[in-house]
Amino acid sequence: MTATGRSGAEILVASDAESAAGLAAERVASILRTSIESTGRADWATTGGSTPGPVYRRLAVAPLRESVPWTGLHLWWGDDRFVPSDHPLSNVQAADEILIGRAGLSGESGIGEYATDITAGRDVGAPIPALNVHPFPTTKAIGEGLGPDWCAAAYADELRAVGPAPRDGWPAFDLVLLGIGPDGHLLSVFPGSAALGRPEWALAIPAPTHVEPRLPRVTLNPAIIGVAGAIVVVVNGGAKAGVVARALQGEEEPGVLPARLAARGGATWILDPDAASRLDI
Ligand code: 6PG
């Protein structure tokens, strides 16, 4: 079912979480293809948690894999946990294992072997050039004892150097993919976050004590949501039905409910029936 919320956000209610991931993957592929075909490039700020894995799985195989000119993609992260990129709780893991990693094995990211070298039965993934994959430099920050503030500042420097052109003073991604936490957080911007209103493009966030994982984070400034070309929000499960309804049909300030920042025109919220169960649509 499709509806448009009071905020101007498009609301798609899928038949279940699997279908929601399919709809999200199709929308992601379409946004990336359109941008790359028109400008030669697409900058995608992806998300973490459990949301993106099923979306990546669909993008990494036919037909969606063949529908995106991946060499024009620059992949960024909206936020990450302050752990090394190869840590199981890193937001890089899901992308690396599902969407990107196999392309490296296939040689389509320019490291040599051909797809036939892939272990039988594994997908090659999306041929995203390795230099176009831009994780937060958490591994360096931790390995050299530089800390999360350095990590956030270094990421902001990388965005200024090779990221998308700014709009209204913020990096304007063609696509921001978001999940929403049970407390209504997005990126690593939690209710009451000091990140709201800060001028920095990226910030270090102390470990939350009310949601898992209770790890220090690094996040892009939530202001990027307001200048993004397109936003895709994927939410599943009845535990989030309340924050979904508050975000899409309430009036609370983002400081109380950061998810409200994504309740805007240009945003598509893709929900399973449980997550949509408190909406009056
Ligand atoms: C993270 C994410 C975070 C996530 C929400 C929803 O680092 O955890 O960036 O913002 O999108 O917490 O997570 P789930 O999809 O796992 O519920």
> What's the 3-state SS for 199-222?
CCCEEEECCCCCCCCCCCEEEECC
What pLDDT shows up at residue 102? 59
Ligand 1 pocket at CB < 6 A: 47-51, 79, 81, 91, 179-181, 185-188
**Cα–ligand 1 centroid distance for 202 (angstroms):** 17
Q: How many residues appear in the chain?
A: 281
Say how many CA atoms lie within 13 Å of 78 toward its Cβ.
Answer: 29
3-class DSSP state of 167: strand
In this structure, of 102-116, 133-147, 202-216, the range with the lowest mean pLDDT score is 102-116
Is the pLDDT confidence value at 112 over 90?
no
Q: What is the mean pLDDT of residues 13-33?
A: 98
Is the pLDDT confidence value at 114 over 70?
no
Looking at every residue in the chain, the average pLDDT score rounds to: 92
**Cα–ligand 1 centroid distance for 91 (angstroms):** 9
- Ligand 1 atom nearest the C-alpha of 187 is 10
For a mutational test of ligand 1's pocket, the pick from 46, 87, 187, i.e. the residue with the most ligand atoms closer than 8 A to its C-beta, is 187
Q: Which residue is closest in CA terms to ligand 1's atom 2?
A: 48
Q: How confident is the model at residue 1 (pLDDT cuts 50, 70, 90)?
A: confident
**Cα–ligand 1 centroid distance for 48 (angstroms):** 5
3-class DSSP state of 154: helix
For a mutational test of ligand 1's pocket, the pick from 55, 77, 80, 186, i.e. the residue with the most ligand atoms closer than 8 A to its C-beta, is 186
What pLDDT shows up at residue 202? 98
Q: How confident is the model at residue 3 (pLDDT cuts 50, 70, 90)?
A: confident
- Ligand 1 atom nearest the C-alpha of 91 is 7
- Ligand 1 atom nearest the C-alpha of 188 is 10
**Cα–ligand 1 centroid distance for 186 (angstroms):** 7
In angstroms, the Cα distances linking 183 to 9, 50, 150, 257 are 20, 15, 28, 8
Is the pLDDT confidence value at 197 over 90?
yes
Give helix 17-39 / helix 52-59 axis angle, nearest 10°.
Answer: 60
